[in-house]
Amino acid sequence: MATVSLVDVHKSFNKGGNTIDAVDGLSVDIADGEFFVILGPSGAGKTTTLKSVAGLVDIDAGSIHIGGNDVTLVEPYNRNVAMAFESYALYPQKTVAENLASPLKSGRTGRYTEAERAERIDQVTSTLGINHLQKRFPRELSNGQRQRVALGRVLVRPADVYLLDEPLSHLDAKLRASMRAELKQLGAMSNTTTIYVTHDYQEALALGDRIAVMRDGRLVQIGRPEEIWHQPADTFVAKALGQPEINLLDGVVDSGRIRLGDGTFDVPVPPSTPCQRGDRVRVGLRPCDIQADIQADVAPSADGSAPRGCVVLAERLGRNVELTVDIGGTQLIVLTAGRGGAGEGAEVALTVADTDVHLFEIGDGATPRLGTSGHEPVLEAAQ
């Protein structure tokens, strides 16, 4: 196990005569034994960051430290890290057991005897539930089984740091959910420092001790999952977590409430928010935080906090129902749970708690949360 520190790391590539900053001044400290998740869209610089830690790409500036040692100029095989790539990267001509044995035959792990290698392979395959597949070739495995073998190649080798690059991206939804649970258990069992890259917010929330949201080569926000969810640093972070996406509406502050759209719908000003009457703000409302009362006889409250809306679209998503509700020409996405639900054309009354209202600055693009300054990342040191 080891700590990992990246200090002002820069990496750029030349593409078609243009310079692209894949990693732009990235700095972060990852604690010993921490499961650290980097979340972001394609092209954010996640994989380049991971390869920089592994030593597979040479950084242009900055430094990388593992276990307190500067490894910026150290060759990959001397960094004692193990990496799983997005592709399975298995040897097609080797069996599962031979694939798993290969990391134990080179570098500082080459000291293992054949008996010790067999013991480690048995331990890892038993943990991953692929012990019975040791004699099969990759072509004889399903995608889920190949993914387990790829993870096994990482886990079989004792390393200071595990680097996992979107290891579940090629699996179907059911397998991803199953493998998330297994990875959570493996992380708790191994207690090895792990950096996990993903574009899936569910994986980030489920697995990460801390999450770093990345955009255009920079870290926008770092924090525990509950902090990223409840206090997103800007509208980009707010939209990165949650499906369906957070509702973003422009409004005006008026006597302790914020009037949205044509004023038919308003929400309370959240506690301790620096805004005054007449301020224009951008309001974020997560679909799961909006309460939809489907009783037809509900009347609007005196302060307008529970206006009526009309359901224009209802989509059942398993145990949840996604409603598109029109209120005075403004459409909101609402997520309701349970067997019951409003059908299209039904009237509903919507309410939202003041603690579930997110306020951001008005403007184009990603705008910061009120009370934060600009787009610098909100950093929290690992405990």
Span 330-344, pLDDT tens digits: 899 999 886 656 788
Q: What is the dihedral of CA 87, 93, 97, 98, to 10 degrees?
A: -100
pLDDT greater at residue 143 or residue 372: 143
Q: What is the pTM of this model?
A: 0.87
pLDDT of residue 376: 44
pLDDT greater at residue 185 or residue 279: 279
Mean pLDDT computed over 320-331: 90
| pLDDT at residue 127 tops 90 | no
Of 116-120, 144-148, 218-222, 329-333, the one with minimum mean pLDDT is 144-148
Buried b / exposed e along 175-184 (16+ C-beta atoms within 10 A): bbeebbeebe
- 69 forms beta bridges with 66
**Closest C-alpha among 261, 248, 233 to residue 371:** 233
Is residue 275 within 8 Å of 281, Cβ to Cβ? yes
Which residues make Cβ contacts (< 8 Å) with residue 344, sequence separation at least 6?
311, 312, 313, 314
Task: State the number of CA atoms in the 13 A half-sphere of 36 facing the CB.
Answer: 30
Instruction: Report all structural domains of the chain as residue ranges with CATH numbers, in order of start.
Output: 4-239 (3.40.50.300), 245-361 (2.40.50.140)
- In single-letter form, the type of residue at position 29 comes to D
3-state secondary structure of 182: helix
Mean pLDDT computed over 156-163: 89
